[in-house]
Amino acid sequence: MKLEGKVAIVTGTSPNIGGGIAEGLALEGAAVVCVDARTENARDCAQSIAASGGRAIAITCDVTDEAQVSAAVARARESFGTVNVLVNNAAFFNRKGVLDMPFDEWHKQLAVILGGAFLFTKYAANSMIEQRCKGSIINIISTAGHQGEPGNIAYCTGKSGLLNFTRSAAMELIGHRIRVNSLTPTATDPSESLGRAARWGRKTPDPARLKEAFEPFRSRVAMQRLPSPSDYARAAVFLASDDAEMITGIDLRVDAGAIAQYWAWDPSRRQA
């Protein structure tokens, strides 16, 4: 197991991407601290890991509240002795454009995406430095952080800010043996998340309608299929593990070729 003996904090552990990453880290032996502002998302993720034989605790915490973040890192240490890995995944979607987005909503979305990553990095990194342990911090971006998407101004801005936050923090923490990288997901196949939500006892939307909603994304992406949370989890395991010990300041894209693809090329018409 690649993460045996390591302790990982994951923020935003819904049944979708954060839950998938948390379960994936646990499968490789990490003890996982599931952090979410919604108690049920922290609780169900931790319970699911424990039910599969892993070690996990749930912490209800708003990533924008400094006192709560500081307390969450302290509780992680009390429970498991240390913190080696941090995945800054919490975010929320609020599709508004520069012409109509209220300023307070802009602030709130950036506060979660950038402020939450800043606060958790600050407290987790200080803990790693105090304990003189190696660390790996992983920031979850989005292909929307690499490209200009209309009507999604705060999200796109926050995610691209997180890309350079990653490089800056990587350089600042390099002397403390703390690596900081990012991971870029894209539109995500909903099947796995639906299965996880059902396993967690949640009511789930109609799978056929959801599949239909994702079809335009699938048909336009270079690989002609969309990644699942477990694809992101395997990449996160790699970045968290000692296999990546010489890797810091990079962005690992798990995006089915989305960012690499030439804009005018229609992959649905490619020759097999």
Ligand X SMILES: NC(=O)c1ccc[n+]([C@@H]2O[C@H](COP(=O)([O-])OP(=O)(O)OC[C@H]3O[C@@H](n4cnc5c(N)ncnc54)[C@H](O)[C@@H]3O)[C@@H](O)[C@H]2O)c1
Site residues (vs ligand X, CB under 6 A)? 11-12, 14, 16-18, 36-38, 41, 62-64, 89-92, 112, 116, 140, 142, 185-188
Hey, what amino acid is at 100? D
Minimal distance, residue 190 CB to ligand X, in Å? 9
The residue among 139 and 241 lying less far from ligand X, judged by its C-beta, is 139
- Non-local CB neighbours of 208 within 8 Å, separated by 6+ positions: none
Residue whose C-alpha is closest to residue 222's, from 167, 264, 169, 173: 264
The residue among 92 and 265 lying less far from ligand X, judged by its C-beta, is 92
The residue among 64 and 157 lying less far from ligand X, judged by its C-beta, is 64
- Non-local CB neighbours of 187 within 8 Å, separated by 6+ positions: 143, 214, 217, 218, 221, 226
Asked if 232 is an active-site residue, the reply is: no
The residue among 5 and 205 lying less far from ligand X, judged by its C-beta, is 205
For the stretch 211-214, contacts whose Cβ atoms lie closer than 8 Å and that sit 24 or more positions apart, written own/partner, are 214/187, 214/189, 214/190
Token couple for 139: 């920031």
Minimal distance, residue 177 CB to ligand X, in Å? 26
Instruction: Identify the H or E element spanning 121.
Output: helix 116-130
- Non-local CB neighbours of 135 within 8 Å, separated by 6+ positions: 83, 84, 85, 86, 124, 125, 128, 173, 176, 177, 178, 179
Token couple for 258: 């989305």
- Non-local CB neighbours of 75 within 8 Å, separated by 6+ positions: 33, 57, 59
Q: The tokens 């490619």 sit on which residue?
A: 270
Out of 123, 155, 232, 262, pick the active-site residue. 155
Minimal distance, residue 120 CB to ligand X, in Å? 10
The residue among 37 and 154 lying less far from ligand X, judged by its C-beta, is 37
**Local structure of residue 38 (DSSP, 8 states):** S
Minimal distance, residue 61 CB to ligand X, in Å? 6
Minimal distance, residue 263 CB to ligand X, in Å? 19
Minimal distance, residue 16 CB to ligand X, in Å? 3
The residue among 181 and 188 lying less far from ligand X, judged by its C-beta, is 188
Which residue's Cβ lies closest to ligand X? Answer: 12
Using the Cα atoms of residue 62, residue 64, residue 68 and residue 70 in order, give the sign of their dihedral: positive
Per DSSP bridges, beta strands 7-11 and 31-36 are parallel
Active site members: 155
